[in-house]
Structure 1
Amino acid sequence: MSGRDSKTSGCVCPTDCATLFAPDRVPPACPARREGEVMARAREEYRREASVARTNWEAFARLVGHGGAGRSRLEHVMEFSRSMGWKRIGMAGCARYLPLMHAAERVLAEFGFASACFSCKVGGNKFPDIDIEKDSDWTLCNPLGQALLLNEWGADLNVAFGLCMGHDLIFQHYSDAPVTTLVVKEKISDDDPTATLRRMDAGEYACAPFLVDEEDAPAGAETTGRRS
């Protein structure tokens, strides 16, 4: 089923999810009601032996009830990795987060994990190096290079530290290992996009994105998870 054929446009509950807190009052437009076939497919995949969904949920289930809500995201990364049997944790980040990545390396080593980190500027590419015309001498970010280096290193899991929007997608696409995020870069909020979104919703921040003209945007660009 394609999105255009979907019976729902998304969740409609304004705050708490009714399926969690008031299942007897689930609204008629709830995706759980309107997309029962989709929910059934998801449950079937969770039940399928050795599926990614099942393997990950089995690992998560081993952690439930051990106070995870009181620990940090990096601790969650280590806990889930141990539960999955992962020992090698890669990190790819914006160059401005190198000190944080090295700090994470020291913590990971303390708990028996091997780690390696790569800065976005690795390789030192310029626009001519990637055959893109632009009047700029900017040293480019290299998320593809980061992914390939971590593939060569043999990461079991990769952790993103503030990769630019779009660069994170390149990194995820070419990474052999699954990718999670520790830091989301947003310079105007000291890396707290949730605070900015709340300000937008409250009318305290005027949202004014720079949107390229539609005719300048490519048609049919690859967006699937297939590597090429």
Structure 2
Amino acid sequence: MSEVGKCAYCEVLACYKGDFKNLPIFCPMRKFINIIEESRRKYLDNQNLRKLAVNASMIEGEGYMKWPRLKEIIEYAKKLGIKRIGIAFCIGLRREARMVSQALENAGFKVHSVCCKIGGINKGDIGVPRKYWLSNRDFEAICNPIGQALVLNAIGTELNIVVGLCVGHDSLFYMYSKAPVVTLIAKDRVTGHNPVAVIYSSYYWSQFGIRV
């Protein structure tokens, strides 16, 4: 295997061990030495990036195997000195979004939540073919992650949390959010929002051509 960027197949884990003399032939650290150095400099030269990275590692060390992800997010925001948090949520997870909002408010944050259907833009207006609509009505609102991000930008949130945005819609939200984004819930309607379940279940392996 000589193609660069196959870290998922690596058994050496040289980067993890600091064993730089035994990099696999497909290791990106062989070909992209300058890029790796550039990434290191960004942490050193940009105080904000360093603050985000250092505090993330502190949360990893402090809460490892003890805190659920929601607790990690709360403690991360506290370490960063954040006061105002945004929640971008799917309308199908509005109950969960309300509970997350309550937890954050109880932790002392100002919380602003924006639903994915904000703006009420019809799917037909942006060219979604009718056969992909979920209803037979003349109006069906698109998910509007760009709108969610722009509203939270205007409010001035300092950290945004994704709660169950659809595949692809989450990407658009990440692209347009000015504040750093963390994901609390990855939507998966089939697995109860636990996408990795299909990786842990051998019943799905043949469907995806997975060999263990």
* Range class of TM-score, shorter chain: 0.7 to 0.9
Letter matched to residue 41 of structure 1: E
Contact 2:199 2:205 in 1 (8 A): no
Contact 2:63 2:72 in 1 (8 A): no
Identity %: 29
* Structure 1 position 132 matched with structure 2 position 127: yes
Contact 1:88 1:115 in 2 (8 A): yes
1:1-228 alignment runs, 5 A limit: 8-11=4-7, 13-14=9-10, 17-21=13-17, 23=19, 25-50=22-47, 52-63=48-59, 65-128=61-124, 130-132=125-127, 134-135=129-130, 137=138, 138-199=140-201, 204-207=205-208
1:26-75 Cα shifts (integer Å, max 9, x gaps): 4233222333222211112221142x432212323544542343101111
CA distance in 2, matches of 1:205, 1:139: 36
Provide the TM-score with structure 2 as the length reference. 0.80
Q: 5+ residue gaps in structure 1?
A: 1-6, 209-228
Q: 5+ residue gaps in structure 2?
A: none
Provide the TM-score with structure 1 as the length reference. 0.75
Letter matched to residue 33 of structure 1: R
1:137-192 Cα shifts (integer Å, max 9, x gaps): 32221212211221222211111111111211221222221211111111121111
Change (3 A) 1:205 1:185: farther
Deviates more, 1:60-69 or 1:73-82: 60-69
Aligned residues: 200
3-state SS, counterpart of residue 193 of structure 1:
coil
Greater share of helix residues, 1 or 2?
2
Structure possessing the higher relative contact order (Cα contacts under 8 Å, 6 or more residues apart): 2
CA distance in 2, matches of 1:74, 1:68: 13
3-state SS, counterpart of residue 65 of structure 2:
helix
- Residue 121 of structure 1: how far off its partner (Å): 1.8
- Residue 19 of structure 1: how far off its partner (Å): 2.7
Change (3 A) 1:56 1:197: same
Contact 1:8 1:35 in 2 (8 A): no
CA distance in 1, matches of 2:64, 2:56: 11
Change (3 A) 1:32 1:205: same
C-alpha RMSD over aligned residues? 2.8
CA distance in 1, matches of 2:16, 2:58: 21
- Residue 199 of structure 1: how far off its partner (Å): 4.1
